[in-house]
Chain A
């Protein structure tokens, strides 16, 4: 059974600081997704990482994937209040034939609060 674990689960940051959210998963996969969810809202896609060593950046967020370590990171640079949200990583396992149907297993989520 695939397990996806995020840490920390709660993150309180000051504006302007840097921090990293970690996403570990327990079985082979080369497809990892990061989503953002605001309270009471839907999920918004942030990044899709499709190969070992993939790195993507958008604004103050940068995501990377190390498939050998089964680890993805979401790095926050110079945090601002607008980044306050819950961040989820999700992993897609290919089936035995190598075909993926997008069956995502989500981490528990990291609740990020950015303070002035």
Chain B
């Protein structure tokens, strides 16, 4: 019973490099989300996908793109990484908004 699986768990990039963070859920959830968590702050929504085939911006979308590949998978891409994108990234999913979101273990990303 994996729940929400994120890969990789850790990554170090150089400024300007690109990378894709992967997220997969096995709970048949409709909605998926990407958040970032910075020290001393709560989580901030980057992008979300309310259902398969749809994506929309959250609070802090600049510098990111997403793909809802199928119902299970929702990826987050950094096209040209910047030091300000150093953060812990969490993926989450839920059946509907009356239910809690289930979170993955996070990806710790450092950009030098």
Contacts and interface: CB of A to CB of B under 8 A. Distances in A.
A33 B42 contact: no
Contacts, number: 62
Nearest to A106: B42
B87 interface: no
Chain B interface residue bracket vs A: 20 to 34
Interface string A72-99: 0000000000000000101010000000
B42 A48 contact: no
Contacts of B44: 106
A100 B44 CA distance: 17
Nearest to B105: A42
A44 B92 CA distance: 11
A41 B43 contact: no
B91 to A, nearest CB: 10
B43 A88 contact: yes
A20 to B, nearest CB: 19
A45 B97 contact: no
Interface in A20-59: 31, 33, 35, 41-45, 48, 50
A33 B62 CA distance: 26
Interface string B80-112: 000000000010101011111111111000000
B41 interface: yes
Contacts of A42: 90, 103-106
Closest 5 CB pairs of A and B: A106-B42, A45-B100, A102-B97, A100-B97, A101-B50
Interface of B: 31, 33, 40-45, 48, 50, 56, 58-59, 90, 92, 94, 96-106
